[in-house]
Amino acid sequence: MKQNILQSWKDSWPNVRSTKPLPIDKGVLDQAAFESIEVDELFDAVNHASTQVGQSVLYRSLARPSSSLDEINAKQIALKEIQENNAIRENLEQIIAQSEEREESLYSLLFGNFLSSMGTARGEHQIEGYGYKQYRSGTRFMQNLVESIYSSESPSSPYLKNVFAKINTFSESRIYSLMIGPVYNTEKGLKSKEERKGSFVPATIFKPHIFKPLLITLVVVMVWGAVQFLPEGMVGGSRGSVAIWGMFLAPLLLIYFPVVGSYDRDNCIIPLRDEFKKSKELGDALDALGQLDELLAYIKFSEEYGSATVLPTMIKSEFHLINLTEAKNPILGQRNVSYVANDFTLEKEKLVFITGPNSGGKTAFCKTITQIQLLAQAGCYVTAKSAKLSVADSIFYQVPEISQLDDGEGRFGTELKRTKDIFLNSSAKSLVVLDELSEGTTFEEKMESSTNVLDGFYRKGNNTILITHNHQLVDVFMNKGEGIAKQVEFANEQPTYKLVKGISRVSHADRVAKKIGFSKEDIEGYLANSKKP
């Protein structure tokens, strides 16, 4: 069962990036692919959410993308409804704007650190005094959210209806009843108004403020009684004099505030907030708020990207397929009209080799493919003029790894272990990107190992994209009629960043060396200068 966002924060101050990818055999994206695809940077590009909970939900959608076609399509229908219905969009934007302004009051109540009664807040998220202000503000935030949903126009899309239903369900929960009060403090614990009905168990009513009219009246009556019973000689004047009343009231007031405040804090506010933090209904309601903000964030991302974006056509298929027109990288292409777009289709071929010199755009293109697949499965717009994709049960991305000191297999073994994990956990519905294969060994062994691995992926039936400089390896598969070959285009030794048919048989190593100032001529110059006195 998917954690709601409150559960993912794990009893600590909200962390937008709290969700972690699932293990390789449990989710669409594992930790290694998450890092290789640069999901943190992708989140920064897409994130137009206003609230902390909205950003947290959006991050979760990228870290743990959906593998359900129905869920993805439902999200897309909701996005279309918001874009086509100005009244709904304006209402949701108003809800999110109000929430952005006030949501921290709830987090202060749930996660703030209480100081001693006389402590002074010196750090962030510390609570001075007894917590009355935080309690009132935090509970009021949730009441306002419920009221906003009650007064909203009912949406027609199933996804939005479900989001609204989460908040309405919360409004019918025990936790919400405790938030709106009154709260009864009984010997059997804290009870809501509904739980109190028909009960004759003695109870006090918790009110979230230090001034208790009944208790103050009782104190005054006690002081008045004490004054009346004093001997005339001790009074020394009128029994109603300010001095006499002050003599009794001042000590009582000094005791009243710390006693009452500490009692409410320790016996009501802290126990109540502990219940709130454990509440599934509250967590689901916060999730719903985050989902609304996430949808608006996707729309803003699309509107502000600066180039074509589209809701991809997601289809059901027995094997993975992808068809993109004028695709741009979601990160590098943002507000960059000069970024070169590419078309890409991978359906029945199953195996694609991408060759070309360094700095030609091979890796950037493969990250574009995987990032677009990820955005599609998060329910977001993708950065292309048109897009048709199937849902990938797994998205894998392997990059060259540096072996660790305690790894007895060396670089070759380290990479091969990752390739094995990908192979064993992939299926015909998976998307696999391999950035080089069998590094750290001889050319002959590299050819044999790479051929065996790619043949295994090809027979398994998933879509596999290999970035390689090894044109001899590509020739082996082209001669067998397996897969397709593409290369990054160069003109006048400069990259055009276009992906075209063919196999690149040059490396342009000297061009790269000159660009970074470490060509043969540069080395000779450095050596010559070092000999000068």
pLDDT at 437: 83
Please list the residues that pair with 490 across neighbouring strands.
Answer: 495
Q: Is residue 152 part of a domain?
A: yes
The answer to whether residue 244 is domain-embedded is yes
The answer to the question of residue 329 being in a domain is yes
- Number of domain units in the chain: 3
> Is 51 a member of any domain?
yes
Say whether both 378 and 498 belong to one domain: yes
Say whether both 258 and 291 belong to one domain: no
For residue 130, which amino acid is it? Y
Can you give the CATH number for the domain in which 499 is found? 3.40.50.300
Looking at residue 3, the DSSP 8-state letter turns out to be: P
Q: What is the pLDDT of residue 517?
A: 80
488 and 370, same structural domain? yes
Long-range Cβ contacts of 412-415 (<8 Å, 24+ apart): 412/438, 412/439, 412/440, 412/441, 415/439, 415/440
Q: Are 292 and 377 contained in the same domain? A: no
Could you tell me if 140 and 248 lie in one domain?
no
Q: Of 275, 290, 315, which residue is a domain's last?
A: 275
Q: What pLDDT does 249 receive?
A: 56
- How far does CA 513 lie from the centroid of its chain? 40
In a domain, residue 43? The reply is: yes
Q: What is the pLDDT along the chain (533 residues), one digit of tens a residue?
A: 678 999 999 888 999 999 999 999 999 999 999 999 999 999 999 999 999 999 999 999 999 999 999 999 999 999 999 999 999 999 999 999 999 999 999 999 999 988 766 666 666 788 888 889 999 999 999 999 999 999 998 899 999 999 999 999 999 999 999 999 999 988 888 999 888 887 777 778 888 888 765 555 665 555 555 555 555 544 455 545 545 555 555 565 666 677 788 888 999 999 999 999 999 999 999 999 999 999 999 999 999 999 999 999 999 999 999 999 999 999 999 999 999 999 999 988 899 999 988 778 999 999 999 999 999 999 999 999 999 999 999 999 998 765 454 454 566 778 888 999 999 999 999 999 999 886 667 788 888 888 999 999 999 999 999 999 889 999 999 999 999 999 999 888 788 999 999 999 876 666 667 777 877 887 777 778 876 65
Range of the domain at 387: 307-530
| Helix or strand (DSSP H, E) at 466 | strand 463-467
pLDDT of residue 202: 76
Residues 156, 298, single domain; the answer is yes
What does the pLDDT read at residue 380?
Answer: 98
Q: Are residues 312 and 256 in the same domain?
A: no
Same domain, 13 and 118: yes
Asked if residue 28 lies in contact with residue 425, where contact means CB atoms within 8 angstroms, the answer is no
- The Cα 97–Cα 67 span in angstroms is 31
15 and 79 housed in the same domain = yes
Which CATH number is 47's domain given?
Answer: 1.10.1420
Q: Which stretch of DSSP H or E encloses residue 417? A: helix 410-425
What pLDDT is stored for residue 213 in this prediction?
A: 59
Q: How high is the pLDDT of residue 405? A: 43
Q: Are 397 and 429 in contact (CB under 8 A)?
A: no
Residues 415 and 345 in one domain: yes
Query: Which amino acid does the sequence have at 341?
Result: A
Assigned domain for 179 exists: no
CB of 323 within 8 A of CB of 388? yes
Q: How many CB atoms lie within 10 A of CB 330?
A: 25
Q: Are residues 147 and 213 in the same domain?
A: no
pTM of the entire structure? Answer: 0.89
Contact yes or no for 127/110 (Cβ under 8 A): no
Q: Are residues 359 and 401 in the same domain?
A: yes
User: What's the pLDDT score for residue 253?
Assistant: 60
Q: Is residue 525 situated within a structural domain?
A: yes
- Residue 124 has what pLDDT? 73
- Neighbouring CB atoms inside 10 A of 192's CB total 19
Helices (H), 65-157: 69-84, 86-111, 132-150
